[in-house]
Structure 1
Amino acid sequence: MSYYLHAAKFFLHNTTENGGYLEVASDGKFGEYLGEGQRPAGKIIDYTGKWIAPGLVDTHIHGLLNYDLMDNDWNEIQEMSIGLLKAGVTSWLPTTLTASFDQLNAVCKTIGEHYKEARGAKIQGIYFEGPYFTEKHKGAQNPKYFKDPDIREFRDWQGSAHGLLKKIAIAPERQGAADFTKAVVQTGTVVALGHSDATFEQAKRCVEAGATVFTHTFNGMSGLNHRALGMVGAALSMNLVDDELICDGHHVDPFAVRSLIENKTPEHIILITDCMRAGMMPCGDYVLGEFPVYVQNGMARMKAGNSLAGSILELKNAVKNVVDWNIATPEEAVLMASYVPARSSNIADVCGSILPNRDADFLVLNDDMSLSETYLNGESRYQAQAAD
């Protein structure tokens, strides 16, 4: 049965409306929005004092609930998809780590064959973080698998994934990076740049070849100097590129977050988590890929070297953080975690916005930006009050 939502605020695709009614049709799709003075006939669910936002889209996430995509276990991936609803995420791109060709191919086959069976957050594609990186800014990636980009490998992986490989990150200084970028973007897959010590000129060459995303900006890349701009300088200054950003308060100082958002504008910032298997888990020892890590004080760190090893961030908290840090308005924060990530991964036609005839995947937020409830296809799937 169709119904209407009544709430204090609606974050629609192009406008943010105060009050009113949003239709959810019987087929689980969004219908029309009516202003406050246009009370409709029929069932109304009253969320007075609360805000309605599109479901969040996490386009860079490796693991959750002590599971990791590289375990290549569909049951675990299923549990991750369900757990993500607690983080306000209704669509996601399971993200790989650098690994062997065969390991990555096996992951592609598993997701390609099963992604439609996800019972929680919808799998809208796969993000390959690697293996075409360089060692200086390797982070938690395993350098033994690093190599130059190979379009034949990409095509094989894409075939195994049934076309679900939506984004791949590479280091611009690798041999053939620009030519690889040109070939990949012509297939409709996004090329991101990261884990790289590239010069500004090398990064620029890949951007001009079609790369459109910088991977977790500031982290895992050559820094900004006033005479050697590096990867950070390219992420700051290149037109029409989108910059991923981890806003957990550990990966990037909030004042650096502010400078990037002000420079690029929220329309080009992608809030991500880069969450690893310890997300939603207690402090302790874990594994990321083939490396032992420990989680303490809200951070995941490598046991060898103590560098950051992904995050344990939930996307709902990244949204709340940028508002609490007085860096973004609620409207901008929602945009950076829903529409922008979807558009940047070429999946904005299926998620990231409240639009008529789009799947009714949405959040009910409290006015402090905390999550109250998550809906999927018009059905309430997570209620914070009942679970907390």
Structure 2
Amino acid sequence: MIIKAKNIVLSDQMIEDGAIMIKGDKIEKIYKKGDHIQANEEVKDYGQATISPGFVDTHIHGFSGCDIMDKSSQSVKVICKDILSIGVTSFLPTTLTASVDDLNEVVKIVGNCRDSYGAKIQGIFLEGPFFTDKYKGAQNNEYFSKPSIEKLKKWQELSGNLIKKIAIAPELEGAEDFIREARKIGVYVGLGHSDATFEEAKRSVDAGANIFVHTYNGMSGLHHRNPGMVGAALTLEDVFAEMICDGHHVHPAAANVVVKARGCDSVMLVSDCMMAGGMPPGQYKLGDFNVTMDGKTARLEAGNLAGSVLSMKEAVKNVISWGIASPLEAIHMATLVPAKSVGIDDVCGVIDEGRIADLVILDDKYEIIDVYLDGKRL
């Protein structure tokens, strides 16, 4: 089968009036404008649309009324299946701070669901429990603890070696040793829910941490005498900055500061979506907390933001409409960049010959027309 469109997003450019030949589950050939296309192939012409890699969401807690922390294989399977509708074809199911017993159970369940139909589980993101109180957000501080490589190794074992990313607060005792050991077992380390100084954050990055978790949110801000976590996220080299670009977590102008400081190639869009994503307004849960979702935001009873109901396609639309990224840059921020941040860009986030055909077709308003998973149109 051959699919054609006005634009095709590659890892280094956007080509116009090209086409993609899909054979089985893979991309067999990419045609550029003017190339001869085999006449005996079925052709689907998407006109003025854009062919993008499937979105890669490396920070997502739930969707469709289900949460990764439900301790339910059915919940994981629903999330895998339903996030295809919003263009996500690869993701990291994301946990919350909880008891060791609960986390043991959750990572085991997710590991057992790794081959479920739908968006592909490319690893697990442990958001907690190694955080501090001041910027706890919607994390339950009852279960906060010091970084423990023994706990991480146990979770890695229980998950079937699926832990891909963990977030910690850099100011915690033993953080740097933990980061070095985590990297040795193939786990990428993010920094977040933290009141760390710039210097503490830098030491953690020097030890191997490479991601700032939902930049601006849940971290010490930028002050001219104490640049804090935000200052580190803006200026340190060889790191990636997550952003929740829903217009509620981060002001568009503040998002632009990150993009101008870092460049789009190290800023990644994440949804941080919780179970109310894809659902009507109402009452929901995020871990142990009651959350009210009004159709735009999800908030704790005290009014604090509690995750989001953002989709990756909306994040892409937002950064384009805010004027802070070109269409090519915005799509990279939702595909290639998050994949690179956790070393999975060899299996997702890229359109290239020989790669699996996980694709999203977007119209000129960046709404989803079609999704392809393993070469099959859904």
TM-score range, shorter chain: over 0.9
How many Å separate the matches in 1 of 2:273 and 2:219? Answer: 19
Deviations 1:351-388 (A, max 9, x none): 0000122110001111122211111011111xxxxxxx
Kindly state the Cα deviation for residue 23 of structure 1 after the two structures are TM-superposed.
1.2
Tell me how far 1:114 sits from its aligned partner. 2.2
The CA distance in 1 between the partners of 2:312 and 2:7, in whole Å, is 20
Match of 2:326 in 1: 329
Correspondence list, 1:39-118, <5 A: 39-41=36-38, 42-116=41-115, 118=116
Deviation string, structure 1 residues 243-299 (Cα, Å, up to 9, x no partner): 000000000000000110111001001100100111011111111111111011501
- Distance in 1 (CA, whole Å) between partners of 2:109 and 2:133 is 29
| Corresponding residue SS for 2:20 | strand
Aligned partners of 1:183, 1:356: CA distance in 2, in Å? 36
Equivalent-residue separation in structure 1 for 2:140 and 2:82 (angstroms): 27
> CA shift at 1:157, angstroms?
0.4
Displacement of 1:47: 1.1
Any stretches of 5+ residues in structure 1 without a counterpart? 382-388
Q: 1:364 aligned to 361, 365, 378, which one?
A: 361
Figure out how many residues of one structure are paired with residues of the other and give that number: 376
Gaps of 5+ in 2: none
Q: Output the CA distance in 2 between the equivalents of 1:47 and 1:300.
A: 35
1:314 aligned onto 2:308? no
CA distance in 1: counterparts of 2:82 and 2:142, whole angstroms? 32
Task: Tell me the amino acid that sits aligned with residue 96 of structure 1.
Answer: T
Indicate yes or no: 2:283 matched with 1:285. yes
Deviation of 1:309 after TM superposition, in Å, equals 0.4
Give, in whole Å, the separation in 2 of the partners of 1:295 and 1:315: 18
Give the 5 Å matches for 1:1-388: 3-25=1-23, 27-41=24-38, 42-116=41-115, 118-303=116-301, 305-381=302-378
Task: Kindly state the Cα deviation for residue 36 of structure 1 after the two structures are TM-superposed.
Answer: 2.0
Q: Are the aligned partners of 2:240 and 2:266 in contact in 1 as well (CA < 8 Å)?
A: yes
Task: Quickly say closer, same or farther: Cα 1:47–1:297, change in 2 above 3 A.
Answer: closer
Paired-residue identity, %: 47
Q: Please list the CA deviations of residues 299-354 of structure 1 after superposition, one character each: whole Å capped at 9, or x if unmatched.
A: 10001x21000001111100111111111110000000001001101111110000
> TM-score, normalized by length of structure 2?
0.98
Contact 2:77 2:113 in 1 (8 A): no
Distance (whole Å) between structure 1 residues aligned to residue 354 and residue 5 of structure 2: 20
Q: Is the 8 A contact 2:210 2:238 kept in 1?
A: yes
* Number of the residue aligned with 1:385: none
Distance 2:240 2:279 in 1: 30
Whether the aligned pair in 1 keeps the contact of 2:30 and 2:352 (CA below 8 Å) is no
SS in structure 1 at match of 2:129: strand
Q: What do you get for the CA RMSD once the two structures are aligned?
A: 0.9
CA contact (8 A) 1:330 1:369 kept: no
Distance (Å, rounded) in 1 between the aligned partners of 2:367 and 2:374 = 21
Q: List structure 1 runs of 4+ shifted beyond 2 angstroms.
A: none
Give the alignment's TM-score, normalised by structure 1.
Answer: 0.96
Paired residue secondary structure (2:357)? coil
**Counterpart amino acid of residue 17 in structure 2:** G
2:63–2:278 contact (8 Å) kept in structure 1: yes
SS at 1:134's partner residue? Answer: coil
- CA–CA distance in structure 2, aligned partners of residues 356 and 159 of structure 1: 34
User: Distance between the aligned counterparts of 2:312 and 2:173, measured in 1?
Assistant: 35
Say if 1:364 and 1:374, in contact at 8 Å, map to a contact too: yes
